[in-house]
Structure formats: C-alpha cells, structure tokens
Amino acid sequence: AQSVAQPEDQVNVAEGNPLTVKCTYSVSGNPYLFWYVQYPNRGLQFLLKYITGDNLVKGSYGFEAEFNKSQTSFHLKKPSALVSDSALYFCAVRDDTGGFKTIFGAGTRLFVKA
Amino acid sequence: KAGVTQTPRYLIKTRGQQVTLSCSPISGHRSVSWYQQTPGQGLQFLFEYFSETQRNKGNFPGRFSGRQFSNSRSEMNVSTLELGDSALYLCASSLDGGSIDEQYFGPGTRLTVT
C-alpha cells in the first residue's frame, strides 16, 4: 500500500536561510513523487515532481527536491527562504501499478520569519 | 486557460440533509479527483473519474458518491450529512489522470454541517 510521511508538523526558518521540508514514502512499484503548496484560503498549487532521471528536480518559485531511492525520501529544499514562502506544504505519491490514486502526506506548515 | 472552478464556495447544511458540489476542470483535462481536507485527517482521497467512469475510490462510506459528465464536469454528493462531514472539499483535474500527471486544484468548497 502507498503511504507518505511528513515527520514535521511545522518548520521555522529565518528569511534568507536555507529551508528543508522532509518527506518519506512507501510504494509497491516505482514512485512518482509530487510537492504541492497551499496558501491560506486557497487550493493546492503544484510545485514540482519526480518521475525518473535526475535525482534533483527543480520547480516553481526557486524550490527543488532531492529524490533518494535508498532512503525512500523526497525532501523539498530552497537555498534562501522568503517570508512569502510561508504556507502549508504537501508531499504526495503515486506508483506505476495503475491505481490512479494520489496519497498525500499530512502536510508541513512552513513559517519564514523576517 | 481558466483554472479549476468549484461551486459553491461555501455551504452550511443541517445534519441529515444532502448536498451536491460541482467541479469544472481545466479545459482539455479529462480526469477529475475529489479530496476531503480536514485539520485532523489532512487530505483524504475520495474518488477519481475519467471519461465518466469511476476508476478508483477512497475509504469513505457509501453516503459519498460522485459522477462525471461527458464534458468532464464532475459532481459529488453527500447524503445524510453528519457533523463529521464538515470539511474543505477539493476538486483536482489532470490531463488523463496518469501516474505522472500533476493535478490542478480548485479553491474548494467549504462545507459546514450544523
């Protein structure tokens, strides 16, 4: 069965510092991994995805994520945080067994302090 | 392109009533998924439709149902509402719902059951 874990409910970082939001996953087949962001009172927005190939994936707003197969992780990173990055971040997974179902993590709230 | 639209944006219902929520996907997208978002449970997958067929269903009681029309618009229905059904209901569309497709989310319908 598919599952996603985001071990931190909240991450606090100062503006200008690097940020990391952690995600680990479990799937039966090959994983397809996604990050989404939710700003207050808005729907989720797609940030980036890993399908295959290069383990470092670049996405919107300067975010990137590193796929690590041996650690079954897909951590979201940004070299320099902005106050406007404060939001709720969700990691999501699908696999290639054809279930047409996306499993989301519980979400990590990111606070960036000026 | 217009984004995913959901109507209504807010609803207040009484226990025992039923409710119908509507979702219009991005033009050209044929897959529509529904999610329930609550503070305690996060994002829970309800069901996914493609070409008017339900391809997958989450672990929700039969009171939750949905359908998709030939123009890809989708509706979900909740009958015999319970207090615990209060949540943000999100609709997401993608091209064909394949494992590698990212999803585009609507703003959600906030349902309050009293």
- Cβ contact (<8 Å) for A100 and B4? no
| Separation CA B77–CA A76 (nearest Å) | 35
What is the full per-residue pLDDT of chain A (114 aa) written as tens digits?
Answer: 789 999 999 999 999 999 999 999 998 888 899 999 999 877 899 999 999 888 999 999 999 999 999 999 999 999 999 999 999 999 999 877 766 778 899 999 999 999
In this structure, are residues A22 and A6 in contact, taking their beta carbons and an 8 Å threshold?
Answer: yes
According to the model, what pLDDT value does residue A99 have? 65
CB nearest to A46's CB, from B31, B104, B108: B104
Chain A residues with CB under 8 Å of B36 CB are none
In this structure, are residues B15 and B68 in contact, taking their beta carbons and an 8 Å threshold?
Answer: no
| Separation CA B79–CA B19 (nearest Å) | 6
Cβ neighbours of B27 (radius 10 Å): 10
Nearest-5° angle of CA A85, CA A40, CA B66?
125
According to the model, what pLDDT value does residue B31 have? 93
Give per-residue pLDDT as tens, B8-53.
999 999 999 999 999 999 999 999 999 999 988 889 999 999 999 9
Top residue of B99, B104, B110 to mutate, by most chain A CBs within 10 Å, is B99
39-78 of A, contacting B, C-beta below 8 A = 41-46, 49, 51
The gap between the terminal CA atoms of chain A, to the nearest Å, is 41
- Helix ranges, chain B (H): none
* Residue A83 DSSP one-character state: G
35-94 of B, contacting A, C-beta below 8 A = 35, 42-43, 45, 48, 50, 55-56, 58, 90, 92
In this structure, are residues A42 and A94 in contact, taking their beta carbons and an 8 Å threshold?
Answer: no
